[in-house]
Each structure stands twice: as C-alpha cells, then as structure tokens.
C-alpha cells in the first residue's frame, strides 16, 4: 500500500450527517424519533427534513427527484449518502477525483450550498462538507422548525460510531483498497471488532472518530440477489443496555442478537429494519473510536 493509507489526505474530521432516501418519510421519522432523534429543520426547496441527536445529524430525503427515489418501489428506505466533515471540501473533492473517485452531478438550486460529492457503493454518494459549528451547512439550506432547540441532548452520549457496507462476494478487498487509497482509512487488526456483528473487515477513519465495516452477504447459495449498499448506521453509546431500553420504551424493536463482554456489559444490539430499510446498530463505545 502507498503511504497515504496512514495519513489523512482529505483532512477528514468525522461524519457530518447521514442521509436516508425514502419513500416513507413519516414511518422513518417515527423510527428516528423513537431512537432519540428530533426533527429540527426543513429543507428550503425540497421534501427533506433534518433530525438531530447530540452530535449526530440525519437527513431524511423524501424528494421524488432524489437519486434512487425516482425508480424506487413504494416503501423503500436506503442510506443515500454519508457526508464527511472535512477541513476543505473543494480540496477533498479534488483529491478524491484525481485519484479515481466518480464525480456526482450537483443538486443545488439557487442560493443553496453546492456540497461536492463522489460516488459511493450502490446508489449512494459521499459528500464533503466543510461548514460546521456556528454557521453550518444546515443554516444555509434548512429552515429551523418553530420552537425547536438546535442542541438536542444525547442521553448516553450517543454518537456516530460507523457505517456498515455490504460488498458482494469477493469484493471486500477491492472496497478496502478503495477507502484506504482514496480516503486514508486503515484496516484494524483482524479479529478486533466492536458491537455484536463480528465479521468482515473493519476500517478506521483517518481522523479516528468512526469506523467503516465491510461485510459480505449472509450465506451462499440462496436465491437472494444482494446489491452493494450502505446498510446500517452504527451508533456508539456508553451504555448499550440503557440506550436500548430507552429506545424500546419508545417503541423501537431490536433483533434477538447480542453478546456480553467481561462483567456482563452489553456490547451491542441491532434494531429491526424500519420504514423499509432503516437499521441502527448500537455499539458499546468505550472511547476506542472516539
């Protein structure tokens, strides 16, 4: 590998937001609110809502013109984009394009921010956002909902822990190299995992604030046609059991999987799929990735 794999060529600082593209915005909104997110703003020109919890921003894009939505079956939800917070979006974009990323056509309208993006797995896109803090991208493109605070507390310090990507059989190494050479991710040692889904390859972001997990489809020989896609958000929490209990009390359903670490501490949990494709994995965050 080139030396870039140990550096941070795009000056990535973390995940700015995750965007769901959906034909079920109401059902997805209910799921997110049950998972502790609060709707705080609406896009100026499109059917897009911004949800927030602590430092996590989730964008729900129900615009009929959104990529994927135009041809999607009713009742579908996909992770359409991950926005990476970078120091300089134009520089990050230029670096990525120069090294083999695909440009994505700009969606911005008049007076809206042009957030540069490159193609990700499946139908997804990877944005580069460099406006955050006091004057963020949301201040330009979104209108705040009335009587809603911008700062939404996260009860157990929930933060983005990572993204889980499905790679079709035999393609994990190619994607691993993709994220290493273009984004500066590093592969963590084999056998080191977090949460309860201990498989595939786990890549660490060059900023050290989140992970990117590459997994192959479950099982072989079945009749399911698996497509490459971003399939789950990982949410880190300092107390998986407490976060799970709080979400369950509000109606989130979890899969019957889980494991415990030494001392009986719950390491992770995975929600059932909601709104035709939304799934969140809770991961015990002991400060490893953060």
Among candidate residues 202, 231, 216, 184, the one with its CA nearest the CA of residue 289:
202
Tell me the closest approach of the beta carbon of residue 139 to another protein, in angstroms: 31
Q: Which is nearer to another protein, 214 or 246 (CB)?
A: 214
If one asks whether residue 201 binds another protein (CB under 8 A), the answer comes out as no
| Contact code string over 5-44 relative to another protein, x by CB under 8 A | ----------------------------------------
If one asks whether residue 120 binds another protein (CB under 8 A), the answer comes out as yes
Among 21, 56, 66, 101, binds another protein (CB under 8 A): 101
Q: Which is nearer to another protein, 55 or 186 (CB)?
A: 186
Among 228, 231, 237, 281, binds another protein (CB under 8 A): 228
Among 42, 119, 131, 238, binds another protein (CB under 8 A): 119
| Contact code string over 157-196 relative to another protein, x by CB under 8 A | -----------x--x-xxxxxx--xx--------------
At residue 118's C-alpha, the angle toward residues 23 and 93, to 5°, is 140
Q: Which is nearer to another protein, 214 or 252 (CB)?
A: 214
Tokens encoding 220: 């072989």
Region near another protein per CB under 8 A, out of 99-107, 140-148, 192-200, 257-265: 99-107
Among 14, 29, 67, 121, binds another protein (CB under 8 A): 121
Q: Which is nearer to another protein, 8 or 181 (CB)?
A: 181
Window 39-98: residues binding another protein (CB under 8 A): none
Cβ contact 141:43 at 8 Å = yes
Region near another protein per CB under 8 A, out of 39-47, 62-70, 116-124, 207-215: 116-124
Per DSSP bridges, beta strands 77-86 and 125-129 are parallel
Among 26, 102, 106, 242, binds another protein (CB under 8 A): 102
Tell me the closest approach of the beta carbon of residue 200 to another protein, in angstroms: 15
Which residues contact another protein (rule: CB under 8 A)? 1, 99-102, 119-121, 168, 171, 173-178, 181-182, 228
């Amino acid at each position: 590998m080139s030396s870039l794999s140990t550096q941070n060529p795009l000056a990535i600082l973390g995940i700015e937001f995750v965007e769901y593209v959906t034909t079920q915005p109401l059902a997805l909104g209910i799921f997110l609110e049950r998972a502790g997110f609060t709707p705080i703003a609406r896009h100026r020109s499109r059917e897009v809502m911004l949800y927030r919890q602590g430092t996590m921003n989730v964008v729900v894009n129900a615009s009929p013109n959104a990529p994927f939505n135009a041809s999607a079956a009713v009742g579908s939800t996909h992770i359409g984009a991950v926005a990476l917070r970078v120091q300089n979006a134009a520089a990050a974009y230029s670096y990525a394009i120069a090294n083999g990323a695909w440009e994505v056509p700009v969606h911005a309208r008049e007076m809206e921010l042009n957030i540069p993006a490159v193609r990700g797995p499946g139908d997804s896109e990877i944005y580069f956002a460099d406006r955050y803090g006091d004057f963020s991208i949301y201040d330009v493109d979104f209108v705040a909902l009335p009587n809603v605070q911008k700062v939404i507390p996260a009860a157990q310090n929930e933060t983005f822990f990572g993204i889980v990507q499905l790679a079709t059989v035999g393609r994990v190494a190619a994607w691993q190299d993709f994220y290493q050479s273009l984004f500066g991710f590093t592969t963590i040692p084999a056998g080191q995992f977090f949460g309860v889904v201990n498989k595939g390859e786990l890549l660490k972001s060059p900023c050290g604030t989140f992970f990117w997990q590459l997994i192959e489809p479950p099982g072989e020989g079945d009749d399911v046609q698996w497509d490459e896609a971003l399939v789950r958000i990982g949410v880190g929490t300092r107390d998986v059991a407490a976060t799970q209990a709080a979400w369950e009390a509000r109606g989130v359903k979890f899969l019957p999987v889980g494991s415990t670490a030494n001392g009986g501490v719950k390491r992770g949990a995975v929600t059932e799929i909601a709104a035709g494709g939304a799934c969140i994995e809770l991961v015990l965050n002991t400060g490893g990735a953060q």
